[in-house]
Chains A and B, each alone.
Chain A
């Protein structure tokens, strides 16, 4: 058991390291001249610099020793929580992250919880419906929901609930009311995917022979669905939740922009607009870390919940 846990943790670190490296490669090695980008982000025109100034700049940004050296230094720093200094704001990147992270965390966590409840609840209720026509019509709904871009649904929600009905604020960072619309908007794409997958799974599970056994015992459809179908259909969703964390983080960028919220997402957007490379690298690294952590937890949790994996098969 310990071997398995250690193995998964080691794998997680490897993937995280790989993700960081890929992000580094994209941001520092892909551009033809990273020095120009870095200088422009800091507000300096490269043409105005003399040769000695250029050399000093190169030294300042750590570009003089070559890519590998710079990479190792950045990696070392990142492992210690030091992501360098923001080119546009001049403050340490870590402080920026620390400031914004809690807001994004609140948003993302509520969105994930909501999406699970919405997806599971919708699929369960629809699967339990007896009228075929209505069920077929409702089954199309998640597909529609997943066709909707998250920033558009945010604008629509603002239009209806903020400007139209006036129930909730259209922007803001403080308080529960300001969290409702953004969290719900962010939850929709994932909820749609969960609903689609679960509808399919409920339908598959319902055809399994053990459902016939359960009904032959005299259990009603509702009882069978609750006691036998639910666990078998929903269990695989755990892995899906882990994978959807990535989409939630991505969506947070757009939702924070639409609702004018403070957070890592808005930070990333501003950083890209101004090509503030260290900030972008840091945000990407942190997001990857969150993704890897959540999936690690899922991988460790799953065997505990699925008896087929937890216990080695024994034939008596």
Chain B
């Protein structure tokens, strides 16, 4: 039974006019183009991102990513060039971070080290994202026994402290950047599974999802068009936060000696080798660490801004 077309709308005049007074005048006369909503959805977000803190953090992160991708552009000195006459110099205008025990410019080494460190962190988050989100969506959407099983598995993984789980994986597959990435990734995967599952469960029970099902949408369609798009917010926030966590975790593992072998530089190994000279040249271990802190703090800030937007 198709709805009958109207000849002229009838307006109810005995009560308040509807909230938008111009509508009465448009009755039956206006005709609008149907437009895509993408612009409307993101317009509000773009405006909110003009905060100074966010811009600063975003710029720094872009800088770090650039340093990881094309380190040659951002440093003056060759990180491997030793110079006996210039060893253990304190930070100055010539050498922003000073030099190490072999006369190598520390700033250049930090920039160069970002490649491996960022690579490891990105790979770790990638692994965790793919694995964790799939498990979380499966668990939350299907529910029942599948959910119980997956969540028990996640509980088991969570019982193993992250660093120790990583240590076990490293023992098994060896040292290096990729093993570190896998080890760290497995440590943050359970968090993604849980967060995704919680969001899927929350959205699944919302009235508009029920309305879609009652409107004839299949389970798959509901999942793709309603549940996933409305659940990804907290996951994106977690991904940004965990990028920082992965950087710190990877740095920790390479600090302990399980990362890439020297002379390749990762932030963790730089800090570790700087330890030997801490009394006389504290900048060797402290400045690379400061760089890590700045990166992670920037990521935290971006994640928090995103979270505020999402709320």
Binding site for B on A (CB under 8 A): 14-16, 18-19, 22-23, 26-27, 30-31, 37, 143-144, 146-152, 155-156, 158-159, 163, 243, 245-247, 249-251, 253-254, 257-258, 268-269, 271-273, 275, 277, 280-281, 283-284, 287-288, 291-292
Asked whether, in the complex, the Cβ of A277 is within 8 Å of the Cβ of B159, the reply is no
Count contacts on B: residues with CB < 8 A to the other chain: 44
Which residue of A15, A155, A245 contacts B286 across the interface (Cβ within 8 Å)?
A155
**Interface-located stretch among B93-101, B121-129, B227-235, B296-304:** B296-304
Asked whether, in the complex, the Cβ of B160 is within 8 Å of the Cβ of A147, the reply is no
Asked whether, in the complex, the Cβ of A253 is within 8 Å of the Cβ of B160, the reply is no
- List 9 A-B pairs, minimum CB-CB distance, nearest first: A250-B163, A152-B289, A18-B156, A147-B296, A246-B161, A147-B297, A30-B172, A19-B159, A250-B161
Known contacts A31-B173, A155-B271, A246-B158, A146 near B300 by CB under 8 Å: yes
Q: Mark B144-171, 1 if CB is under 8 A from A, else 0.
A: 0000000011011111111111011111
A275 to B, closest residue via Cβ: B171
Interface membership of B252, Cβ < 8 A: yes
Contacts of A146 on B, CB cut-off 8 Å? Answer: 300
B159 to A, closest residue via Cβ: A19
Contacts of B304 on A, CB cut-off 8 Å? Answer: 143
Q: Determine the distance from Cα of A158 to Cα of B158 in the docked complex, in whole angstroms.
A: 32
Besides the contacts A27-B172, A269-B167, what 5 more A-B pairs have beta carbons closer than 8 Å?
Answer: A163-B278, A247-B162, A249-B163, A250-B161, A283-B164
Q: Determine the distance from Cα of A163 to Cα of B283 in the docked complex, in whole angstroms.
A: 13
Interface membership of B293, Cβ < 8 A: yes
Contacts of B301 on A, CB cut-off 8 Å? Answer: 143
Asked whether, in the complex, the Cβ of A249 is within 8 Å of the Cβ of B271, the reply is no
Asked whether, in the complex, the Cβ of A280 is within 8 Å of the Cβ of B160, the reply is no
Which residue of B161, B252, B285, B286 contacts A287 across the interface (Cβ within 8 Å)?
B161
For the residues of B in contact with A, the DSSP-based class is helix
Residue in B157, B167, B248, B256 with the greatest tally of chain A CB atoms within 10 Å? B167
Asked whether, in the complex, the Cβ of A288 is within 8 Å of the Cβ of B271, the reply is no
Asked whether, in the complex, the Cβ of B293 is within 8 Å of the Cβ of A147, the reply is yes
Asked whether, in the complex, the Cβ of B256 is within 8 Å of the Cβ of A158, the reply is no
Contacts of B172 on A, CB cut-off 8 Å? Answer: 26-27, 30-31, 37
Interface membership of B131, Cβ < 8 A: no
Which residue of B162, B258, B271, B282 contacts A272 across the interface (Cβ within 8 Å)?
B258
Interface membership of B113, Cβ < 8 A: no
Q: Determine the distance from Cα of A30 to Cα of B169 in the docked complex, in whole angstroms.
A: 8
Which residue of A22, A151, A250, A275 contacts B162 across the interface (Cβ within 8 Å)?
A250
Contacts of B271 on A, CB cut-off 8 Å? Answer: 151-152, 155
Asked whether, in the complex, the Cβ of A26 is within 8 Å of the Cβ of B164, the reply is no
A-B contact pairs, 28 of them (CB 8 A): A22-B157, A27-B172, A30-B172, A143-B304, A147-B244, A147-B293, A147-B296, A148-B293, A149-B292, A151-B255, A152-B285, A159-B278, A159-B286, A163-B278, A246-B161, A246-B162, A247-B161, A249-B161, A249-B163, A254-B255, A257-B255, A272-B170, A273-B256, A273-B257, A283-B164, A287-B160, A288-B159, A288-B161
Interface membership of B251, Cβ < 8 A: yes
Asked whether, in the complex, the Cβ of B286 is within 8 Å of the Cβ of A152, the reply is yes
B267 to A, closest residue via Cβ: A149
Binding site for A on B (CB under 8 A): 152-153, 155-165, 167-173, 244, 248, 251-252, 255-258, 271, 275, 278-279, 282, 285-286, 289, 292-293, 296-297, 299-301, 304
Q: Determine the distance from Cα of A158 to Cα of B167 in the docked complex, in whole angstroms.
A: 26
A249 to B, closest residue via Cβ: B161
| B107 → A minimal CB distance (Å) | 17
Contacts of A22 on B, CB cut-off 8 Å? Answer: 156-157, 160
Q: Determine the distance from Cα of A183 to Cα of B285 in the docked complex, in whole angstroms.
A: 21
| B130 → A minimal CB distance (Å) | 19
Contacts of A245 on B, CB cut-off 8 Å? Answer: 161
Contacts of B167 on A, CB cut-off 8 Å? Answer: 253, 268-269, 272, 280, 284
Known contacts A268-B167, A272-B170, A254 near B161 by CB under 8 Å: no
Q: Determine the distance from Cα of A42 to Cα of B152 in the docked complex, in whole angstroms.
A: 36
Residue in B159, B162, B251 with the greatest tally of chain A CB atoms within 10 Å? B159
Q: Determine the distance from Cα of A6 to Cα of B301 in the docked complex, in whole angstroms.
A: 44
| B227 → A minimal CB distance (Å) | 26
Asked whether, in the complex, the Cβ of B159 is within 8 Å of the Cβ of A280, the reply is no
Q: Determine the distance from Cα of A80 to Cα of B257 in the docked complex, in whole angstroms.
A: 33
A189 to B, closest residue via Cβ: B248
Q: Determine the distance from Cα of A273 to Cα of B174 in the docked complex, in whole angstroms.
A: 10
| A146 → B minimal CB distance (Å) | 7
Which residue of B153, B168, B293 contacts A27 across the interface (Cβ within 8 Å)?
B168
Contacts of A14 on B, CB cut-off 8 Å? Answer: 152
Contacts of A27 on B, CB cut-off 8 Å? Answer: 168, 171-172
Q: Determine the distance from Cα of A37 to Cα of B172 in the docked complex, in whole angstroms.
A: 8
Q: Determine the distance from Cα of A26 to Cα of B174 in the docked complex, in whole angstroms.
A: 12
